[in-house]
Amino acid sequence: MKKLLKIIGVLFLILIIIILFRTLTFKSKQVKVHLAPKISLNDSCINHLQKAINFRTISYDDSKIDSSQFIGFQKYLIEAYPLVFSKMKLEKVNDLSLILHWKGKSAKVKPIVLMAHQDVVPIEKATEKDWDALPFSGTVKSGFIYGRGTIDDKGSLIAILESAELLLKQGFIPLSDIYFVIGHDEEISGLRGARTIANLFKERKIKPAFILDEGGIITEYKVPGLNKTAAVVGIAEKGYQTLKLKIKIPGGHSSMPEERTAIDEMAKAVVKLKENPFPAKLTPIVQNFLSFVGPEMPFISKMAMANQWLFSSIIKSSYAKSGAGNATIRTTTATTIFNSGIKENLIPGEATATINFRTQPGITQEDVINHVRKAIDNNEIEIIPIGKGNSPTQIADINDESFKYIQTTIGKIKQDIIVAPYLVLGATDSRYFSENTSQIFRFTPFTDPEGFHGVNERIKISEFKNGINFYYLLMKDYK
């Protein structure tokens, strides 16, 4: 027995040594860079964003787009940024999407692409009264600009154009070609905008060094275990699949319910899906994220991140506690529509449920259907795919110079910031460009934006100006 205990003790000691060694050699992946001097900006940039918000460039799911709002918005942009629209080649795609081509000095250097979109989501009428300022007013209040689109995505669009106009005023000519891709239907899948433009780029054999679209943010508190400011840069994005579940069981009068009804069986299926989620995994993307933030954490958290092989269950448990964290480590399941019944005393003979899945890269529609079939275990329920969905496989290489360049540029606008690659939880227009380049990044240079797709969408003026600074440096220093 003593010999066994001695062996256990030695093995435990070896384990402790391995853990400590891996922790102490878990080196930072951050780059050392000095803050760049802030560019001088007057309040005209604020006025430009305010006026941009005034245009109700709303995308509706039923495709009822008010083209006059987009046309008016584009006319305003031409007036506000005369050098951009006179010095760059403008091309309209499907009438409302735009490509701006800024010719560089050298055709040998691969171009870069900056993306943004003009359209915004609607305002729910029931929530209008909850806004602190009218949703399309662009009101300035307590240091913030309020309005739909300030974050998603007119804030980025105006910041890009402001920085380009300033560079042109200074006589700057980029080394490489720069393309601005400005879609008009991102909020309804970007089929006539970004997808069409991606196909044009493919036909023209335009192979960018990298593409930068909306996605990640700068955050002071959203990374679990990290007490430093972080910038999360999307190197991939989740896909989506939507399934409709349908069951028919003869109904009848509510005074004589049968043991099994359509609505009961569908409710059970929905509960089973909730109780049987996709498994949590520390995918290579998540592991990369942890390898960038882990060395910057307090010792205990750093130890866990350095030894994921041992502490993976603890890490997954920690991330599963929040909606965003849980979505990072698994394919998520969300019941978004449940339909059944038309009268209080009539048992319905049919029930349907619409389930939306946000999938990890590599998860296909077939994988989702198989998971649902196994989880609900009810052959009477018909599983109907809604559309083809989206199953992205693109993952940017973080060892490529393009990622390091973006990391360095972020470091120039924020002191001691931790930059990390991560998985974008939503879909962006940039997904259509995966055949043009694998180096697609998603990052919006604003800190902890508020009201995204909800009430009181707003941007802090200082953050908006900092975003202009970011795009200015990104274009100016690229070689």
Q: Is the pLDDT of residue 4 over 90?
A: no
Residue 381 sits in the same domain as residue 411 = no
pLDDT band with cut points at 50, 70 and 90 for residue 293: very high
* Residue among 100, 80, 82 nearest 91 (CA): 100
pLDDT band with cut points at 50, 70 and 90 for residue 143: very high
Is residue 339 domain-resident?
yes
Residue 376 sits in the same domain as residue 399 = no
Is residue 14 domain-resident?
no
Residue 276 sits in the same domain as residue 194 = no
- Distance between CA 45 and CA 43 in Å, rounded? 5
In the predicted model, what is the mean pLDDT of residues 91-102? 98
Q: Is the pLDDT of residue 10 over 90?
A: no
Residue 378 sits in the same domain as residue 431 = no
Residue 452, pLDDT score: 86
Domain termination site, one of 385, 410, 437: 385
Is residue 306 domain-resident?
yes
**Six-digit token string for 90:** 């403008």
The 8-class DSSP code of residue 399 comes to T
- Distance between CA 339 and CA 102 in Å, rounded? 51
In the predicted model, what is the mean pLDDT of residues 160-183? 98
Is residue 451 domain-resident?
yes
* DSSP state string for 409-476: HHHHHSTTPEEEEEEESS--GGGGGTTT-S-EEEEEEEES-B-TTSTT-EEEHHHHHHHHHHHHHHHH
The pTM of this model reads 0.93
Residue 130 sits in the same domain as residue 170 = yes
Residue 7, pLDDT score: 83
Domain termination site, one of 385, 407, 442: 385
Beta bridge partners of 355: 243, 335
Residue 343, pLDDT score: 95
Q: Contact at 8 Å (CB) between 148 and 135?
A: yes
Q: Contact at 8 Å (CB) between 318 and 325?
A: yes
Q: Is the pLDDT of residue 183 over 80?
A: yes
* DSSP state string for 274-342: HHSPPPP---HHHHHHHHHHGGGS-HHHHHHHHTHHHHHHHHHHHHTTSHHHHHHHS-EEEEEEEEE-S
Distances (CA, A) of 475 to 83, 161, 425, 469: 16, 11, 27, 10
In the predicted model, what is the mean pLDDT of residues 247-258? 94
Counting residues of the chain whose pLDDT is more than 70, the rounded percentage is 100
Is residue 233 domain-resident?
no
Domain termination site, one of 339, 370, 385: 385
What domain count does the chain have?
Answer: 2
Q: Residue 305 belongs to what domain range?
A: 239-385
Q: Is the pLDDT of residue 62 over 80?
A: no
Here the CATH number for the domain that contains residue 341 is 3.30.70.360
Query: 441-450: per-residue pLDDT in tens?
Result: 999 999 999 8
Q: Contact at 8 Å (CB) between 286 and 318?
A: no
pLDDT band with cut points at 50, 70 and 90 for residue 5: confident
Query: 263-276: per-residue pLDDT in tens?
Result: 999 999 999 999 99
In the predicted model, what is the mean pLDDT of residues 370-393? 95
Residue 360 sits in the same domain as residue 416 = no
Is residue 422 domain-resident?
yes
Residue 36, pLDDT score: 95
In the predicted model, what is the mean pLDDT of residues 312-322? 92
Helical packing angle, 299-306 and 308-319, nearest 10°: 120
pLDDT band with cut points at 50, 70 and 90 for residue 46: very high
Residue 212 sits in the same domain as residue 316 = no
Residue 171, pLDDT score: 97
Is residue 35 domain-resident?
no
Residues 128, 182, 172, CA angle at the centre, nearest 5°?
120
Residue 215 sits in the same domain as residue 104 = yes
Here the CATH number for the domain that contains residue 155 is 3.40.630.10
Residue 381 sits in the same domain as residue 440 = no
Residue 160 sits in the same domain as residue 185 = yes
Q: Is the pLDDT of residue 61 over 90?
A: no
Instruction: At 107, give phi and psi (nearest 5°).
Output: -80, -10
Is residue 107 domain-resident?
yes
Query: 187-232: per-residue pLDDT in tens?
Result: 999 999 999 999 999 999 999 999 999 999 999 988 888 999 999 9
Residue 199 sits in the same domain as residue 61 = yes
Residue 129 sits in the same domain as residue 113 = yes
Residue 63, pLDDT score: 66
- Distance between CA 332 and CA 384 in Å, rounded? 18
Q: Annotated active-site positions, please?
A: 119, 186
